[in-house]
Structure 1
Amino acid sequence: MNAVQPIEQLDVKSQVSAEEWQTRVDLAACYRLIAMYGWDDVVFTHVSAKIPGTEHFLINPYGMMFEEITASSLVKIDLQGNKLMDSPYDINPAGFTIHSAVHEVRHDAGCVMHTHTNAGVGVSAQKNGILPISQQSIFVLSSLSYHDYEGVALNDEEKARLQADLGNTNNMMLRNHGLMTCGKSVSDAFLTMYTFQRCCEIQIAAQSGGSELIPIPQAVLDGAKESMRKVTRGAGSGVAWPALIRKLQRVSPGFDQ
């Protein structure tokens, strides 16, 4: 991936707190990683991150490719969609509906991530959703919910139904639409999505083989959270995020500007 210079260099770093700037850097990195892994859908998906200590959040400037996004170009809004800092960019209206709905009720969710990948949308269209057939699936199934498709997410009335369906889960399958994850941090939401995405890719591949699938026993599914804690030695997403940032610095520099 070639380095992309920011479309417009905005003087943002000097205007925000150190905590907000770090959140901006992490979120811009997340957008670049989505592009790097091929999970973007031109400009039509979105990730949001809450600014620590506030009910405000950052989201992508609508119309920018994800490999172009920088810390400075992210748009800061409140739960009503009002811009809280001058920006030449608009925001995706469907993105606002989905992300404001989650941030309104999930105060533990520092980051909310949504994708439209082939595998994610493909499995979201299957009546039985995620099947317990892979190691990745045990982690997804440990915190999974579903939300029925109601059309493009532009109706405020849908927000209450999405909130109720999400509950306290961190993986949500938006039926006929795609995947969504929540995390305490940007890194948590990204690594949760990585597992969710891989789970869907593996399921599609397994189904395409045409053979009978072997389900994982319930006892194994029940131990998923403890298994994850052990395999990461309690570090969670922190075991991989620094390495991902180092890779971005090599292949897609400039996200932290």
Structure 2
Amino acid sequence: MSRPSLISLQEWAVRCDLAALYRLAALQGWDDLIFTHISARVPGPDHHFLINPYGMMFEEITASSLVKVDADGQKVVPSEYDVNPAGFIIHSAVHEAREDAQFVMHLHTVAGVAVSIQREGLQPLSQHSLFPLASLSYHDYEGVALNPEEKARLVADLGGTSLMMLRNHGLLTLGRSAADTFLKMFMLQRACEIQIAAQAGGGELIRIPAPILAGIRAQSDKVMRGSGASLAWPGLLRRLARQNPGHDV
């Protein structure tokens, strides 16, 4: 790990975690070439955040290559890469509105987009679905996210939830740590995959009873963040070190 001298220890730690999220998303097959984004708030009072260099593949991203932008989407330090303007609209809206949104992950997975198109959205069909359903919201599609006026509507729809389906578009999760944010996305994505597979199998689907869904809300925080995330994250980093090392440079 080689930290540039102008970057603080605190920012470098965030950069390493964010670069790990990008590479882990690629390992999971969640990337969409260069067209989705994961961001992180930079520690400190300046309201800066880090996002991917537009044009770099997820498996290539490193801590030092991430682009730092301000609240207006302007680069804070020089970079040969620009920032995806749609990425800035979505991510800046969430970072500005939610103090707990240290990391924001937005993906266009096949299963995630497929379920976002369904009128009922995510249904209580599997154990995996119960945890996302405890904190899931929806935002209707308004076209490619280039209109700053959409930010207020997206934030209003997000409310106090930490997982969102962008209708006809994809998935979004947020968290206080990279670990929390990744595990929320893993559970949401896996629940979508299971739902699509179950629907493809045909026949009547058995929905989990409402009392069980209500009861799981009390347990979701423990599974989706805290102990569950902190246990999974070191293993994910070990997998990354084996399969695609070099994110922390």
- Same fold at TM > 0.5: yes
Partner of 1:43: helix, strand, or coil?
coil
1:45 is matched with 36
Distance 1:98 1:74, change over 3 A: same
For structure 2, the residue ranges without an aligned partner over 5 or more in a row are none
Task: Tell me, yes or no, if the aligned pair for 2:180 and 2:224 is still in contact at 8 Å.
Answer: no
Length-normalised TM-score, structure 1? 0.92
In structure 1, C-alpha distance between the alignment counterparts of 2:77 and 2:179, rounded to whole Å: 25
TM-superposed deviation, 1:186:
1.3
Paired letter, 2:205:
L
1:208 is matched with 200
Task: Tell me, yes or no, if the aligned pair for 1:232 and 1:239 is still in contact at 8 Å.
Answer: no
Paired letter, 2:120:
N
Q: Indicate the percent of aligned positions where both proteins have the same amino acid.
A: 64
TM-superposed deviation, 1:87:
1.3
**Among 17, 22, 25, which residue is 1:26 paired with?**
17
1:5 is matched with none
Q: Please state if 1:222 is matched with 2:214.
A: yes
Distance 1:15 1:254, change over 3 A: same
**Among 104, 110, 119, which residue is 1:118 paired with?**
110
Cα-to-partner distance string for 1:20-55 (whole Å, 9 max, x where unaligned): 000000000000001001000000000001112332
Q: Please state if 1:69 is matched with 2:61.
A: yes
Partner of 1:179: helix, strand, or coil?
strand
TM-superposed deviation, 1:221:
1.0
**Among 72, 81, 84, which residue is 2:73 paired with?**
81
Paired letter, 1:76:
K
Q: Please state if 1:252 is matched with 2:218.
A: no
In structure 2, C-alpha distance between the alignment counterparts of 1:70 and 1:79, rounded to whole Å: 23
In structure 2, C-alpha distance between the alignment counterparts of 1:53 and 1:90, rounded to whole Å: 23
Partner of 1:49: helix, strand, or coil?
strand
Distance 1:130 1:94, change over 3 A: same
1:173 is matched with 165
Paired letter, 2:9:
A
TM-superposed deviation, 1:232:
7.9
In structure 2, C-alpha distance between the alignment counterparts of 1:60 and 1:102, rounded to whole Å: 16
Task: Tell me, yes or no, if the aligned pair for 2:222 and 2:228 is still in contact at 8 Å.
Answer: no
In structure 1, C-alpha distance between the alignment counterparts of 2:224 and 2:130, rounded to whole Å: 15
Q: Please state if 1:190 is matched with 2:182.
A: yes
Length-normalised TM-score, structure 2? 0.95
Cα-to-partner distance string for 1:219-243 (whole Å, 9 max, x where unaligned): 2112224334555895131010000
Cα-to-partner distance string for 1:159-209 (whole Å, 9 max, x where unaligned): 110010001101100000000001111111111000000010000001011
In structure 1, C-alpha distance between the alignment counterparts of 2:63 and 2:225, rounded to whole Å: 30
1:7 is matched with none
Paired letter, 1:158:
E
